[in-house]
């Protein structure tokens, strides 16, 4: 099987954790490394979370720590939503075998990308600080990146401000560098992630899978459901689903600019839906998904991981 070489840049995070589990379940990804960045919390905690997830599953993918703060502005995490550990009330065992790898996330990516004869897919689930530093410090990597699939932004609306999504708002300068890079970008923002609203029947279906993987999926979803009335949104899992099964999604090519200076609009992904800017499209903006197919993928990921982990439904 000809697997795509992949680097996952992330800030785990509850929905990031689910996205990582989906990637680990896949037989179509050659995950060369996981790089962490500040976002939901501090980068040190995110690296610990990533290693805990990997060790829980039995994977030995190296984890590299990256930026601990945005390029210019102060970091503002999501502790009120995801807790100090960024994993809410989930008590994953601390990793005992895995240690943070050397060198830094950016140094690893630069060496790995340039040294490969295959083009990589980068999957970015947090603020884009690591990727921006990589592109600014080692522009030669551009020719080695097939595409960047990211969870972030929105053509309409926001979740950190009325017009800005959290990951982009956290480091708008980094997002500007990435979107202006000329690398093909697939933007899985709030336009599509809010449509992947898991309902009671879907949550019960996932919970019924059981096993070590199914139980962890269910714990994550229960944490994300706290305070939610209409359903559970799993933002980063949607972006990972786009990487795993692109046929489930529909979008359109648009020019996306990052607002850096607006008093009320900083961090907005200004999406030229009406083609008014006169600029070429720089991103495929995802707007819709096959909801049933997405839920099926979540269930399938649980089942496959259970088999890989030697688990069963009745554990």
Q: Is 255 a catalytic residue?
A: no
Write out pLDDT tens, residues 196-220: 999 999 999 999 999 999 999 999 9
Lowest mean pLDDT among 82-91, 184-193, 295-304: 82-91
Residue 78: what pLDDT? 53
Q: Roughly how many angstroms between the first and final C-alpha of the chain, as a whole number? A: 32
Report the C-alpha dihedral over residues 295, 301, 302, 308, rounded to 10 degrees.
170
Kindly indicate the confidence band of residue 314, based on its pLDDT and cuts at 50, 70 and 90.
very low
Over the stretch 97-153, which tens digit does the pLDDT of each residue have?
889 999 999 999 999 999 999 999 999 999 999 999 999 999 999 999 999 999 999
Widest distance between CA atoms in the chain: 58
- Residue 26, pLDDT > 50, answer yes
What is residue 90's predicted lDDT score, i.e. its pLDDT?
84
Could you tell me what percent of the chain has a pLDDT over 70? 95
Q: What is the mean pLDDT of residues 5-28?
A: 95
Res 4: pLDDT: 86
Query: Once rounded to an integer, what is the mean pLDDT over residues 180-193?
Result: 98
Report pLDDT for 313: 45
Interval 2-11 mean pLDDT:
93
Categorize the per-residue pLDDT at 3 as very low, low, confident or very high, splitting at 50, 70 and 90. Answer: confident
For position 74, what pLDDT does the model report? 76
Q: What is the mean pLDDT of residues 227-243?
A: 94
Q: What is the pLDDT of residue 77?
A: 59
Percentage of the chain with pLDDT > 90? 83
- 37-90, pLDDT tens digit by residue? 998 889 999 999 999 999 999 999 999 999 999 999 877 755 444 555 668 778
Catalytic option among 144, 176, 235, 254: 235
> Is there a contact between 11 and 37 (Cβ–Cβ < 8 Å)?
yes
- Residue 35: the pLDDT is 98
Confidence bin at 311 (pLDDT 50/70/90): low
pLDDT band of residue 182 (cuts 50, 70, 90) is very high
Give the DSSP letter string of 298-310. Answer: HHHHHHHHHHHTT
Look over the chain and give the mean of its residue pLDDT values, rounded to a whole number.
Answer: 92
């Amino acid at each position: 099987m000809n697997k795509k070489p992949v680097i996952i840049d992330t800030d785990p995070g509850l929905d990031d954790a689910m996205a990582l589990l989906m990637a680990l379940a896949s037989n179509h990804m050659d995950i060369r490394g996981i790089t962490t960045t500040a976002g939901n919390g501090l980068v040190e905690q995110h690296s610990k979370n990533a290693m805990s997830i990997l060790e829980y599953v039995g994977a030995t993918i190296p984890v590299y720590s990256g930026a601990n703060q945005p390029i210019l502005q102060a970091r503002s995490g999501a502790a009120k939503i995801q807790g100090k550990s960024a994993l809410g009330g989930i008590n994953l065992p601390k990793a005992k075998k895995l240690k943070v790898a050397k060198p830094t996330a950016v140094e690893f990516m630069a060496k790995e990308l340039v040294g490969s004869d295959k083009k990589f897919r980068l999957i970015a689930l947090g603020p884009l600080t690591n990727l921006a530093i990589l592109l600014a410090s080692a522009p030669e990597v551009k020719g080695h990146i097939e595409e960047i699939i990211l969870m972030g932004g929105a053509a309409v609306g926001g979740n950190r401000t009325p017009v800005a999504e959290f990951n982009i708002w956290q480091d708008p300068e980094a997002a500007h560098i990435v979107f202006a890079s000329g690398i093909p970008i697939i933007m899985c923002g709030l336009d599509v992630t809010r449509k992947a609203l898991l309902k009671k029947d879907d949550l019960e279906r996932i919970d019924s899978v059981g096993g070590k993987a199914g139980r962890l999926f269910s714990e994550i979803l229960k944490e994300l459901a706290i305070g939610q009335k209409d359903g559970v949104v799993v933002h980063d899992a949607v972006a990972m689903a786009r990487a795993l099964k692109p046929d489930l999604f529909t979008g359109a090519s648009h020019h996306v600019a990052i607002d850096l200076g607006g008093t009320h609009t900083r961090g907005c992904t200004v999406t030229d839906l009406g083609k008014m800017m006169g600029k070429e499209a720089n991103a495929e903006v995802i707007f819709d998904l096959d909801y049933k197919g997405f839920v099926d993928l979540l269930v399938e990921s649980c089942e496959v991981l259970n088999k890989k982990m030697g688990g069963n439904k009745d554990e």
